[in-house]
Chains A and B, each alone.
Chain A
Amino acid sequence: MLSRVANSIYWMNRYIERAENYARFMSVNFNLILDMPPSEREQWEPLLVANADNHLFYQYFDNPARDAVLQFMSFDQRNPNSILSCLRAARENARSVRESITKEMWEHLNQVFLDVQQVSSKQGWKMDEWQDFFNDIKMASQLFYGIVDSTLSRNESWHFSRLGRFLERADKTSRFLDIKYFILLPSIEAIGTNMDLLQWSAVLKSASAYNMYRQAFRVLRPEDIIYFLVLDRRFPRSIYYCLSQAEQSLLAISDGDTKGNKAIKVMGRLRSELEFTDASEIVTSGLHEYLDDFQKRNNLVGEAIFETYFALKPVAPFNGGTQEQG
């Protein structure tokens, strides 16, 4: 398939996944606030910091108050990661590859964008309206994947879709965990208290992992939660699961021709390191540091994919000629 088309399909999926996860971040913070005792201050800044949106935010706002953060993360066009910006980018990518995706994929995405664009100008949102909105975004994204799964042939388009979706999801799951690092407890003594565990369960809920975690472990223990979200082999939002799925698609795209393939090398190395890591090692090395390092290496996988499949280099292919840079 055309490199440009592969690139657009990959990014279309990354942006949809990103929009969904932004809705998850905000939705769970709402839940958390409602569970907190009234003496506790609302904390919205951790959402910005965990997603590295804080620098941009403070260019336009002084105070990370609820409405400012929600508007900024949902609709602000100056924020390239806001839900509306992500959906616009996803739709623009889809628009440029309509002939390579299915009619149903395009029409759904187009409609979701038009709907969100329409509500984005609304003022005076109530809490329940925000909650409905986040839920709609999550459902729209889930429906999109359902449409992809049930209409798209298992060809390269499909595998580049999965690649984008799972790499983005791995990144975002690491950020759900990182939020826990940034949300402040009132004091050091609060570690291990009910309030601490409340925050951990909010992290699980962000990733729709609460029920599956309970089935696997029953008791809420930070180290088990870290295991579940980073290393679990079967949970579909764990970082390990996402990477192994992405790797499978990468292998399918290469069709057995893996020699000298940088994307497969970088991806395989990262995935296998996770495979032989224990949760206790992560805790010992420091959760935040571990996640930070993972995010950087996950980005390197993205860069390797770009170089291997998307970069438009005019290379003379068959006559053993030299490589030129475009």
Chain B
Amino acid sequence: MANNRPLALTSFEGYETGGFFDEMFLPDGTVRTECAYLYEELLQMSRKDFSTKQHAAERTLLSMGITFNVYSENQGVERIMPIDIIPRIIGGGEWRRLEEGLIQRVTALNLFLDDLYHDQRIIKDGIIPRHVIESSRSFLPQCMGLNPPKGIWCHITGSDLIRGDDGNFMVLEDNLRCPSGVSYMLENREILKKSFPEVLEKVGVQHVSDYPTRLLDMLQYLSGKIAPTVVVLTPGTYNSAYFEHSYLAQQMGVQLVESNDLIVLDGQVKMRTTRGFEPVDVIYRRIDDTFLDPLAFNPESLIGIPGIFEAYRNGQIALANAPGTGVADDKVVYAYVPRIIKYYLGQDAILPNVHTYICEEEDSRKYVLEHIEQLVVKEANEAGGYGMLIGPKSTRAECDEFRKRIQANPRNYIAQPTISLSRVPTNIDGRFEGRHVDLRPYILYGEKVEVIPGGLTRVAMRKGSLVVNSSQGGGSKDTWVLY
């Protein structure tokens, strides 16, 4: 239980790094240099002050309505994603290497997408098997020959990075399908400006607050017009990321539209306003590819805009991200990314992948089936922590179930060694304990490729858990990138 004496100071007494890579402490228990000032400040703070700050942060989220809806629960159930006010700190030098690695990766992935939907040289040159691409659920044959404005496919990427035992960052997955979470990055910083203003000022943290400006610049760049009309397209208020859609539209000062607001007239995309139909030039769409247009993709889609894909093909509108980028998110394609970087850029990948067993390859499959208890198994097209098995945390029956699934459809599965994600001190009922985290930085591809210095640090709040997804009980932390 928390110590209730009013002036008791917070303390790291009894804090264990537990043999994991700890982002605040070295294995011998001394504080890492970039965290020294924060550590001292925490030691001087009374427990009462600390918990007041923590509660104030949670109250702020609730009253700002920063909530998300949870799928597979009753509609309209709103939750806040818990915020833990102890920030996660990354040194400037380390960040620069990350930045370089991410720019390299996104540049290569964009070339890859353009090639896939045109000449497919990478397949012809035998780097990646044709059936891997063609069997990917996110590969869209409708996009063949498509020339997106300025040749950009993946405008916004949110790759998930983790640190293993040695502390080196690895890429866990690339999210090129409208990644979410950036609103938390922005709001968490605003909250920490209230929780730790002195520390922020003293240690020198790179700012993230111009993200909406950079996003708008990037979106406007996609249009040939001088003052293009940009909108954000949302599936609606019941979408789990609705707050973010609305927040980004508000921060950029553009309209948030639902599909019913848009219509294609004479080949042009227009929105229905109180003064008639007005043209739209750029759409930052937060609905899935196949729901975009019932004429081109899923005819069942009720949230699509008939004819928009045709208008897009004809260059009447810019979409961010381009349809079809999901193929690079496929977890089997992911395994090829180091080879993709080598092929297009002639460089070795700066940021490594997590070692990945492609279940379709016979040797790998044999290994996976024999060692499934030690591995993490993932479905090729799933996201959000769904459709995965964490071997060491699963029952025998669960492992057997996945063995069957893999044998039935090997193309749909990959496996990776269980990485013990790095940990950051986290407030658990008034005490500090290590909890596992990942990192999602945001990369914008406009006139140039740029990485926002910060990101969303997701934290598995449950003791020992490695699943950081908000849909699975994860929380978040502010991410401080130093100069």
> Contacts A95-B237, A156-B274, A316-B265 given: A110-B258 contact, CB under 8 Å?
no
Is A294's CB within 8 Å of the partner chain B? no
- B63 and A107 contact, CB distance less than 8 A: yes
* Contacts between chains A and B (CB distance < 8 A), count: 71
Closest to B271 in A: A2
- A2 and B261 contact, CB distance less than 8 A: yes
Residues of A bordering B, CB below 8 Å: 1-6, 92, 95-100, 103, 106-107, 110-111, 114, 156, 253, 255, 309, 312, 314-317, 319
What's the tally of chain B residues with a CB closer than 8 Å to chain A? Answer: 29
Is B30's CB within 8 Å of the partner chain A? no
Interchain Cβ contacts under 8 Å between A and B, 11 examples: A1-B274, A2-B257, A98-B256, A106-B65, A107-B64, A110-B64, A110-B65, A156-B274, A253-B274, A309-B274, A312-B260
- B273 and A98 contact, CB distance less than 8 A: no
- B63 and A3 contact, CB distance less than 8 A: no
- B63 and A4 contact, CB distance less than 8 A: no
- B273 and A2 contact, CB distance less than 8 A: yes
CA distance A3 to B261 in the complex (A): 8
Per-position 1/0 for B48-87, Cβ under 8 A of A: 0000000000000011110000000000000000000000
Complex contacts, B250 vs chain A, CB 8 Å: 98-99, 103
- B263 and A314 contact, CB distance less than 8 A: yes
Closest to B277 in A: A317
> Contacts A95-B65, A98-B250, A111-B63 given: A2-B255 contact, CB under 8 Å?
yes
Closest to A314 in B: B263
Complex contacts, A110 vs chain B, CB 8 Å: 63-65
CA distance A125 to B288 in the complex (A): 49
- B237 and A96 contact, CB distance less than 8 A: yes
- B272 and A2 contact, CB distance less than 8 A: yes
- A3 and B272 contact, CB distance less than 8 A: yes
Q: Which of B62, B232, B271 contacts A114 (CB 8 A)?
A: B62
CA distance A75 to B274 in the complex (A): 35
- B246 and A99 contact, CB distance less than 8 A: yes
Q: Which of A92, A100, A111, A319 contacts B237 (CB 8 A)?
A: A92
- B276 and A317 contact, CB distance less than 8 A: yes
Taking chain A's interface residues, is the majority helix, strand, or loop, or is none over half, making it mixed? helix
CA distance A110 to B243 in the complex (A): 13
Closest to B249 in A: A99
Is B336's CB within 8 Å of the partner chain A? no
Closest to B254 in A: A99
CA distance A106 to B237 in the complex (A): 15
Residues of B bordering A, CB below 8 Å: 62-65, 232, 236-237, 242, 246-247, 249-250, 254-258, 260-261, 263, 265-266, 271-277
Complex contacts, A114 vs chain B, CB 8 Å: 62-63
Complex contacts, B271 vs chain A, CB 8 Å: 2
Closest to B242 in A: A95
Complex contacts, A315 vs chain B, CB 8 Å: 276-277
Interface centre among A99, A114, A314, A316, by most B CB within 10 Å?
A: A99
B251 to A: closest C-beta gap in Å: 8
Complex contacts, B260 vs chain A, CB 8 Å: 4, 312
A234 to B: closest C-beta gap in Å: 30
A243 to B: closest C-beta gap in Å: 21
- A4 and B247 contact, CB distance less than 8 A: no
- A6 and B65 contact, CB distance less than 8 A: no
> Contacts A98-B246, A99-B246, A99-B249 given: A4-B258 contact, CB under 8 Å?
yes
Complex contacts, B64 vs chain A, CB 8 Å: 103, 107, 110
CA distance A99 to B233 in the complex (A): 12
Closest to A96 in B: B237
Complex contacts, A316 vs chain B, CB 8 Å: 265
CA distance A284 to B360 in the complex (A): 89
A16 to B: closest C-beta gap in Å: 16
Interface centre among B62, B237, B258, by most A CB within 10 Å?
A: B237
Interface centre among A3, A110, A312, by most B CB within 10 Å?
A: A3
Closest to A110 in B: B65
CA distance A326 to B96 in the complex (A): 54
Complex contacts, B277 vs chain A, CB 8 Å: 315, 317
Complex contacts, B256 vs chain A, CB 8 Å: 97-100
- B237 and A107 contact, CB distance less than 8 A: no
Given A1-B274, A96-B246, A98-B247, 4 extra CB contacts under 8 A: A3-B272, A95-B65, A100-B255, A110-B63
Complex contacts, B276 vs chain A, CB 8 Å: 315, 317
CA distance A5 to B274 in the complex (A): 9
Closest to B262 in A: A2
A111 to B: closest C-beta gap in Å: 5
